[in-house]
Amino acid sequence: MNIVVCVKHVPDATANRTFRASDNTVDRAGVDGLLSELDEYAVEEALKIAEAGDGEVTVLTMGPEPATDAIRKSLQMGAHKGVHVSDDAIHGSDAIATSLVLAAALKRLEYDLVLCGMASTDGVMGLVPAMLAERLGIPALTYAVEVSIDGDRVTVRRDSDTAVETVVAPLPAVVSVTDQINEPRYPSFKGIMAAKKKPVETWTLADLDVDASQVGLDAAGTAVTSYQARPPRSSGTVISDEGDGGVQLVDFLAAQKFV
């Protein structure tokens, strides 16, 4: 079974992230990048499925040169090979263009199952998995908290506020997974050493027959028009209890519409 995991290299969410003043795109240079935390769950799930049967896991990413770190981390966790789509024209691409490029790359790969994280930790749109499935003409099963493979069918569980859904689809299919699905493994030293020898291919837009005018900032359907830094956290409200503390607390919560 061939599993392709789509991953993204993102600025560390715990660092001080910002945009580039020149074109309002995410500043990827000023902050350390890493494999999106939400994509680690997709890699882990792919590895579990592959280990349970006889599977091969390919990691696919799109992004500038440092994005290869996201592939390497996935390979260190245990994925078998990587594909990096890197092209200057990609800079500033939105979800629509991202799905176009990833779909074009997937068409050149063999896959029975495409796994994605539920969203990236930088853009946090969560649209790419569904767009990807649409472009590939295969089913999309999103926000899975459980995935099982039975022959040529995939079954997922989705938890919502109102219901637990069990969804079945024929393979191949695109499945996005949430952070509830598993506990991603840490790469072992053995894994780190083994990753050095695993193959990583780098493809350009030309390799994929994608017209550069369809991607990038100019082709994007969405744009960041302005941004400002989050205001510093205020010190909060301190209520001192002089016999009416309970009433004051309720008044505060009511004013904030918590009760």
Amino acid symbol at 79:
A
Q: Which of 11, 33, 55, 187 binds another protein (CB under 8 A)?
A: 187
| Segment contacting another protein by CB under 8 A, of 42-50, 145-153, 189-197, 209-217 | 189-197
- How many residues make contact with another protein (CB under 8 A)? 11
Contacts to another protein from residues 192-221, by CB under 8 A = 192-193, 196
Q: Which stretch, 11-19, 152-160, 182-190, 206-214, contacts another protein (CB under 8 A)?
A: 182-190
| H-only helix segments in 53-127 | 68-77, 95-107
The 10 Å CB-count burial string (b at 16+, else e) for 103-133 is bbbbeeeebbbbbbbbbbbbbeebebbbbbb
* Residue with Cβ nearer another protein (1 or 192): 192
Q: Which parts of 48-77 interact with another protein (CB under 8 A)?
A: 76
Q: How far is the CB of 191 from another protein (least distance, A)?
A: 8
**Nearer of residues 32 and 110 to another protein, judged by Cβ:** 32
Long-range residue pairs from 102-106, CB within 8 A, at least 24 positions apart, any chain: 102/6, 102/60, 102/62, 102/128, 102/132, 103/132, 103/135, 103/136, 104/208, 104/209, 104/210, 105/60, 105/62, 105/203, 105/208, 106/4, 106/60, 106/132, 106/136
Q: Does 18 bind another protein (CB under 8 A)?
A: no
**Residue of the chain from 150, 160, 166, 186 that contacts another protein (CB under 8 A):** 186
Q: Which residues bind another protein (CB under 8 A)?
A: 76, 185-193, 196
